[in-house]
Structure 1
Amino acid sequence: MVQTYPRKKIELIVETAYLPAMLAMIDASGATGYTVIRDLLGRGHHGERGREALGGNGNALVMVITTAAIADTILTGSQRILGDGFGIVTLSDVQVLRPDHF
């Protein structure tokens, strides 16, 4: 069996207006990296959201895989940045093959 290591995965769906502050906070948290996917489309609690619906602003997905301690720092920071604004934040347990990368 392949050796794996436990980590936390945070997924944040945010309006692109929040993206610079969110990425700066993630950098400051000690996370070793992140992935950003821009121009998301979706439908949910507040109806359809996407590039056209927001007048060109759009939404982005930010994914971070990190340790539990850094994940807690990111969750606290994202709550501060988003406040009552639009955002979806999820936390999952994941297994990774290379712990030194996360």
Structure 2
Amino acid sequence: MIETVTRKRIEILSDTALLKRVTDAIERAGITGWSVTPVLSGKGSEGRWREERVTGTDKVVVLTIAAQDKAMKLAEDLAPVLTKFGFILSMWDVEVIRGERF
């Protein structure tokens, strides 16, 4: 039987212009990997929005998986900028194979 371990899956919605700030925080937390996916449109408390490369308001989702302690370190690091820049950070438990990689 394959063994799994519980880790935190973390998704961060951010403006593309602030992506480096997010990935730097991930690395400061000791998390070794992440992926970035462009977001074309969405709707939030301020209404609908669409990708707009001309004005620089396009958005991305950054995905990473980490151990609990590293996930909490990342959340604490980004907490001050969540409201200031409108980031959305969500995390939940996932089961992974090869848990030592996370």
Aligned to 1:73: 73
TM-score by length of 2: 0.87
Aligned to 2:7: 7
Aligned to 2:55: 55
Long gaps (5+) in structure 1: none
Secondary structure in structure 2 of the residue aligned to 1:92: strand
Residue type matched to 1:98 in 2? R
For the Cα contact (< 8 Å) 2:35–2:62, is it kept in 1? yes
Tell me, in whole angstroms, the C-alpha distance in 2 between the residues paired with 1:61 and 1:50: 14
- What RMSD in Å do the two structures reach over aligned CA positions? 1.9
Aligned to 1:87: 87
Long gaps (5+) in structure 2: none
Aligned to 1:37: 37
How many equivalent pairs are there? 102
Secondary structure in structure 1 of the residue aligned to 2:13: strand
Bigger drift between 64-73 and 39-48 goes to 39-48
TM-score by length of 1: 0.87
For the Cα contact (< 8 Å) 2:38–2:60, is it kept in 1? yes
Identity fraction in percent:
29
Secondary structure in structure 2 of the residue aligned to 1:84: helix
Residue type matched to 1:59 in 2? K
